[in-house]
Amino acid sequence: FQATVTAGIVSALGRTLRSPNGRLIESVVQTDAPLNPGNSGGALADGKGRIIGINTAIIGGAQGLCFAIGADTAVDVASRLMADGKVRRSRLGLGGQTTLLDARLAARLRREGGAVMVSEVQDGGPAAFAGLQPGDVILAFAGDPVLSVDDLHRRLTAEIAGRSVPLQVMRGAHILNVDLRPELDA
């Protein structure tokens, strides 16, 4: 049916989802708005009609678990496709999700907002070689604050592949400075 609208609640931001081919889709929006096979590519809008994502995936067998790529990521990808005909990125070899920093911690670090918590480190990847571990929290990439997975993902351009990039990472109560060399994604 054309021009069909459904309603739902956004239940999580910054999720990481593994696609059927094994690639990570990072910083997706989780919603319970009904999404059926074939509906991918439709807009996910908020109550004011602003586009907040592009519907992408469902979890088969689970009711009410639908996912959308964040609007910022979709705009970035569309711009690159229009300019270059393809999107090439660097990769860190990790899975992560956006996490909010505790207000006291954020004040101590003199920053606001979120960061990226490492949930998975792929064997043999750049993050593993740099010594990152699950549970680490990435605070800054090349000196710039990292507020979300989308924020980190946008920095992973093809141009930085093979270059040493400093990361500021929180591990437990300690702040570490780690050098990492992103590699070109295949």
Tokens 């918590």, located at residue = 117
How far, in Å, CA of 59 to CA of 40, rounded?
13
pLDDT of residue 92: 95
Q: Give one DSSP letter per residue of 97-144, joined into a string.
A: EEEEPPHHHHHHTT--SEEEEEEEE-TTSHHHHHT--TT-EEEEETTE
pLDDT in tens, 150-184: 788 888 888 899 999 999 999 998 999 999 999 98
> Residue 3 pLDDT > 80, yes or no?
no
Contacts of 69 (CB under 8 A, 6+ apart): 25, 27, 28, 29, 53, 54, 56, 77
pLDDT of residue 47: 87
pLDDT band at 1 (very low <50, low <70, confident <90, very high): low
How far, in Å, CA of 120 to CA of 15, rounded?
13
pLDDT of residue 125: 95
How far, in Å, CA of 38 to CA of 55, rounded?
10
Contacts of 44 (CB under 8 A, 6+ apart): 29, 31, 33, 51, 52, 53, 54, 55, 68
pLDDT in tens, 39-87: 778 888 888 989 999 988 877 776 778 889 888 888 888 888 898 888 7
DSSP label at residue 176: E
pLDDT in tens, 86-140: 878 899 999 999 999 988 888 888 888 899 999 999 999 999 999 999 999 999 9
